[in-house]
Structure 1
């Protein structure tokens, strides 16, 4: 045991408590035939909770954690603290990048040895605690070598380094029983077209993802390969802009049946969409996989990765998750970080506890909306004409036949109300 979380007890479900507790998240509550824990599948992000030092574009780090440093002993201490936090929160999963969990070496081989050693250590802690790995991924964006991308880099040596890194991260994820593997192209994009070959970089990115899928099958990894869209930041333009863009990319390289989406609320907003839009689109395309739950500060206009606190937004997101059939290998990863002024250990616990409560409230509202059925009934009524004989025949017809039929008749169709305000009022009954 470490002394980082001294005097903080494991959180319990205590809806009337005024102390640090869960007021809405009851992991054992059975909803729609499953425990709430099995529906929501919460995960803690290793990078934001234990690796991020609290800096921003205008200020240096504000956190002073006892495990900060580049040694194996400190990496093990970080893991000890992490699993203590998982226990306090009773979360079933966590997620990592390779650079979050191991110190950087002076060579690829040294970094890999450090990585393999800490993976074994994490495996021991997972066995002892029962905490599982939702997904692993590779950090191909922080080090200066990735300033011009990883898979899309103009230097073949960086492509090779990146491919070898992903291979080893996939091995580690498989070894730890991870349920997914995520690829996020943090710098797979460009700053200026003056020095960018878009066609070449797209081909490199496509082949890289094909290699990842090929390796998944080679090692017998049964989890999902997930791609996480983001439109910009840190790059001016990133190739995985949003769900629609990524789907076109997957179709181009024959991967639409092999790869699913890990969709983040903050990234959806940066792309000019709502979270529920991206979820609904991924579901309709058959590529919905998992979510990163966070929010942005709508005044800042950039990716602030704050913990969720808006129940109506979360309810609409989980409504789409439920309509998609719920999570299979995916889950709710808190890709969220403390504010720079939240310095204390209890802030880490309280932020996650509050987010878990917000998600529980939103999820239960989504379940109630779905079980009520009014929204879906009104949606079905709006499109009922397409289920008629005439509507079905229309899509099998052609312009000339349609025009001839209309010209021979006396038809003057009128618009019908979309009832948006009524629908919004219905949602407000539940949230």
Structure 2
């Protein structure tokens, strides 16, 4: 979804999940396949997707992104394709995408974005049209079952008549199988992927039973509908209790109180051995959901830092697919600790380091890391004196008050208590005109 944030609060992204029977399911002799709740490689190793979405169809020249995404630790990339709603990605182009994934040792989830919001968005394609697109690409997909999953259609039904999802998804799966596809299939939920009317949750078994290969995984997209820990855990608990395989095929982050609780989401995914794929590497119309600044891997945004380097993030929890030579068991290392950006004060108190995570015309995203000195602190306060009239419009992980050009940020309940030398981070969105100079920063603690 190119303009994802524009429809963020109303109807957001897609969900998919799939399920297989506990008795030995049929699947391709070689290839990714479902076993119980897990995705398994042809050699029998469980594979847990840890990666991001890449908006290839709109940025087809950004082929360096595959290497960059891998270098950040991902083992999977979900690639946005189009069969004609936007400039169509040809068989040759898709073959090149697969080659890039294999070259950089990434499992490739190929998705057709044309279906996004069908029934509510008049430009959207049907799932049947999406299957026709895959049939047209069959020559470059067959033989790649070890390396790719086919996500039939992105967020295939909007909020209008969401109940049509079940029959449309059943028909799409059956048409894929009748045309000889042996691949691991992924299917997204209605309600722009967020399943807030629970159509997928309540009809998942019907969809899974429709697959003659018993090789379909359901994928949920988590955004504003999943803005609390309770909403996330409740939804995931249902799929676990039913024994259904599930992937979190898209999700964003809690840049505001009403957005997805990404920290709970990643922690629960790791605890349950569920795959997750964050949206997105770069290219959003509103850059709040960009993980990088202009596709530059050396400029991770706050969101990029959270999904790659944060607790339960990709770097700490991903393992390379065994088919590429990766380990046969998941990593057991704990999430990395945060390294203070500056030397803490010798005594008590704190220091604060300011950085710009992303900037665009008239707006920017700032980040401040607070580090305790040689003694623990219970609360901290950071003062930012902006030199060019910048204003803060939205903040996360802190409470903020403003007086003229001076902004005062105080910790929230969960990040004020810092051990000696430990750090906490808060971020914000702001506006600027003319110049976006660096503010003078002070930190005090009690």
| TM-score bin, normalised by smaller chain | 0.3 to 0.5
Larger Rg: 1
Q: Which protein has greater RCO, CA pairs closer than 8 Å, 6+ apart?
A: 2
- TM-score, normalization by structure 2: 0.46
Tell me which protein shows more strand as a share of its residues: 2
